[in-house]
Amino acid sequence: MNLECLFQPITIRGKTIKNRIVQPGQGTGFGHLDGRISERHIEFHRTKARGGVGLIIFEHTGIDRTGNVIPLMEPLIDHDRFIPPLARLAEVVHEHGTALFFQLGHGGRRSIYSPLFYLLPHVPGLERLAVSLPKYFPGAYARLFGSAWRFARQPKGPSAGPPSWGFRKHGQVFEHISKARPQALTQDEISHLIRKHGEAARRVKAIGGDGVEVYCCHGYLLNQFYSPLLNQRTDEYGGGLEGRARFTLEVIREVRRVAGEDLVISLRLNGADFVDGGATLADAKAMAAWAEDAGADVINVTAGLYGSYPFMIPPMADAPGAFVPLAEAIKQSVRIPVMGGIRVVDPVHAESLLRNGQVDLVIMGRALLADPEMPNKAQAGRFDEIRTCIGCNQCLEISEGLEGGIHCLVNPQLGAEGRLRVTPAEKKRTVVVGGGPAGMTAAEVLARRGHEVILFEKGQLGGRLQLMAQVPGNGETRTFLDFMKKELERLNVTVRREDASVAKIRVLNPHTVIVAAGARPSLPPWHAQVRCLSMDEAVAGNGADKKLVVWGDDLYCLSVSLYLSQLGKDVIAVELPRFFPLDVMEVTASALYLRIKLAERGVEIVRDCTVSDAVRGNVTLSNGRVLSNVDAVVVCKLRRDGALAKKLRAEGIRTHTIGDARWPRKSLPAACEAFELAARL
């Protein structure tokens, strides 16, 4: 495939971008508690630049520490002490010919700020604890994050008002919730924040950045002023669109005044808020034209708020390039280049968008998380080697993975690029038991390092991901599974389609055994008093059961409920209480999509509840409700299965346990754990 347009350079205000592939600003959670970037940031972006991306837009960077949305996790640029580490980042990115912009913004009414937060980095050992909490103690992490609101100052935005906004669909309310009621900014405070944007731009010049991106989207401060839903002011910064746009335009003018001709100015703009009463495409077209007149050089089109539907970060169920029509419409209103895309994961698709004149640069954020080498592979025609993002959105759940920050199921090395490398090793025979995400990842990495790998899997490769792939909207999971199967074949991994046993493994005389055999159903005390089905049994069978209670952890519970409802079953979903009651990322992840689809089908969801008892068709919930005439309960709870590993260790065989066999959880942390072990063996 000829990708001539995708790899054609473009020059904007004297800055040449070597191709049209853009990594947008993506929050990573890699930073230090005091707002400094870390070595993980450096290696993360070094890998991207080396992989051939044309433009990197560094993640949302606070112009003022009072505007942090997630305390202690967002980079800052509100003081000159942040210049040296960011200058090193610019140097690393520029070594590979990649341009670098810095995204500047403020959380406004979504901010959580307290001076106490910025004393914490000076407490010995606290930073290590903060990194460890999400991994080892998710409940404690949730409570710590929840308590942050208690110490926070009252946030400020365009208007005083209720702390939440959202939408209603099929009788359910989905919303972004803050516990603090925001105050309105004064005009003096607005002027102060405009100056802070200019000061940040001065620092970007000192850093050696190529441009800045003004952030007017996703419910952050400038978007709050721009949106009629959130801006109820009656002064010059409110009212009609011209008043609501004033703050953003004054920021652009101030940045241009400070930057002169040295920096490109990008405006990241919501093409639509996707909530009733929010900003519309017509608003965005006018705003883009005014921004061009104010000094903007490029418009980066996105959409949505936290709590909007469609989602601001579309899941795999949404079509690739969901926001391209918005970018295409805005492109008709301006003379400057327009970036767009969102979930464009295929370079051939990206090429078609450019050829058709729909956008001038293509946003390929999650595609570059899944495979930082994608640009180089595409340019060389190595399409079969590209690890394709499947839109599972597990990367958004920053408490998952090897340590704090974002990670990726398809690319479990993400976030550990400088710490974990796939290096050649002395060839040894390794047996892997289990062909789920953890087992396949371990086998692949070991084989890439040169080991002889024998994988036992009696069923289909993929484990419970095969089950999830059958759920409506989850079809792209098969893309990942098919890629991994081909990789194992290419790397000459021996796959034995049979049960593993101590006797079979002992005959092979392996150096190491990795048990990734998954988990088994966790049957409740009352399981003998009612018909109970495991997830696998429920999905695989076509029994006569009509009324089913599906009970367990959210994604499994909701996915199985949707699958069974589409088979015509009468389903009630009972979700267990969650570790993280605030669930700040749910608004962009798969669970909300599933809830909406279940609501469309009329399926009742009972949240934060458990099944306390069941006897002969009567199921009693922990809230006291009794469900009658139930044919079966589908148990979506798992427990680890350590029997084989225990027997192997008793035989003196070197054995490691990973994935659900060690601790049942989502596929992403299991794959990350497998990668780390295989990279270290």
Q: Considering 335, 366, 389, which residue would you say is the last residue of a domain? A: 389
pLDDT of 174 > 60? The answer is: no
Per the CB < 8 A criterion, the answer to whether 153 and 182 are in contact is: no
Do 500 and 544 lie in a common domain?
Answer: no
Do 510 and 537 lie in a common domain?
Answer: no
Per-residue confidence (pLDDT) for residue 390, from 0 to 100: 95
Do 628 and 647 lie in a common domain?
Answer: no
Do 468 and 542 lie in a common domain?
Answer: no
Q: For residue 153, what is the DSSP state?
A: P
Do 475 and 539 lie in a common domain?
Answer: no
Per the CB < 8 A criterion, the answer to whether 504 and 621 are in contact is: no
Do 575 and 628 lie in a common domain?
Answer: yes
Confidence of residue 618 (pLDDT cuts 50, 70, 90): very high
Q: What is the pTM of this model?
A: 0.92
Q: How many domains does the chain have?
A: 3
pLDDT of 118 > 80? The answer is: no
> What is the rounded distance in angstroms from the CA atom of residue 28 to the CA atom of residue 38?
11
Give the mean pLDDT of the chain.
Answer: 89
Residue 422 in any domain: the answer is: no
Q: Domain containing 470: what range?
A: 429-521+640-680
> What is the rounded distance in angstroms from the CA atom of residue 491 to the CA atom of residue 449?
10
Instruction: Report which residue type is found at 550.
Output: V
Query: pLDDT (tens digit, 9 = 90+) per residue, 277-306?
Result: 899 999 999 999 999 999 999 999 999 987
CB atoms within 10 A of CB 88: 16
Burial-class residue 585 by CB neighbours within 10 Å (0-12, 13-18, 19+): buried
Structure tokens at 297: 């050089």
Do 486 and 568 lie in a common domain?
Answer: no
Query: pLDDT (tens digit, 9 = 90+) per residue, 312-362?
Result: 888 888 889 999 999 999 999 999 999 999 899 999 999 999 999 999 999
Per the CB < 8 A criterion, the answer to whether 550 and 573 are in contact is: yes
Do 645 and 624 lie in a common domain?
Answer: no
Find how far residue 315's CA is from the centre of its chain. Answer: 10
Per-residue confidence (pLDDT) for residue 182, from 0 to 100: 86
Helix ranges, 449-570 (H): 464-469, 477-490, 502-508, 535-540, 554-566
Q: Per this entry, what is the length of the chain?
A: 681
pLDDT of 455 > 90? The answer is: yes
In our burial notation (b when 16+ CB lie closer than 10 A, e otherwise), range 232-254 reads: ebeeebbeebebbbbbbbbbbbb
Query: pLDDT (tens digit, 9 = 90+) per residue, 497-547?
Result: 999 999 999 999 999 999 999 898 898 999 999 999 998 888 887 677 899
pLDDT higher at 94 or 162:
94
Do 351 and 494 lie in a common domain?
Answer: no
Per the CB < 8 A criterion, the answer to whether 263 and 204 are in contact is: yes
Do 501 and 541 lie in a common domain?
Answer: no
Residue 98 in any domain: the answer is: yes
pLDDT of 485 > 90? The answer is: yes
Judged by DSSP in three states, 574 sits in strand
Query: pLDDT (tens digit, 9 = 90+) per residue, 581-611?
Result: 434 444 445 777 888 889 899 999 998 899 9
Task: Report the greatest alpha carbon distance in the chain.
Answer: 81
Query: pLDDT (tens digit, 9 = 90+) per residue, 242-262?
Result: 999 999 999 999 999 999 999
Q: For residue 576, what is the DSSP state?
A: P
Query: pLDDT (tens digit, 9 = 90+) per residue, 372-391?
Result: 999 999 999 999 999 999 99
Residue 357 in any domain: the answer is: yes
> What is the rounded distance in angstroms from the CA atom of residue 258 to the CA atom of residue 254?
6
Do 470 and 531 lie in a common domain?
Answer: no
HEC sequence for 373-390: CHHHHHHCCCHHHCCCCC
Per-residue confidence (pLDDT) for residue 526, from 0 to 100: 92
pLDDT above 90: percentage of residues in the chain:
70
Instruction: Report which residue type is found at 486.
Output: K
In the numeric block, the tokens 């419910």 are attached to 219
Do 359 and 334 lie in a common domain?
Answer: yes
Per-residue confidence (pLDDT) for residue 178, from 0 to 100: 53
Query: pLDDT (tens digit, 9 = 90+) per residue, 42-63?
Result: 999 999 999 999 999 999 999 9
For residue 486, the domain's CATH number is 3.40.50.720
Judged by DSSP in three states, 247 sits in helix
Judged by DSSP in three states, 429 sits in strand
Q: Which of 9-13, 443-447, 459-463 has the lowest mean pLDDT?
A: 459-463
> What is the rounded distance in angstroms from the CA atom of residue 105 to the CA atom of residue 102?
10
Per-residue confidence (pLDDT) for residue 279, from 0 to 100: 96
pLDDT mean over 192-201: 98
Per-residue confidence (pLDDT) for residue 307, from 0 to 100: 72
Where does 457-496 show beta strands of DSSP type E? 494-496
Per-residue confidence (pLDDT) for residue 150, from 0 to 100: 57
Confidence of residue 155 (pLDDT cuts 50, 70, 90): confident
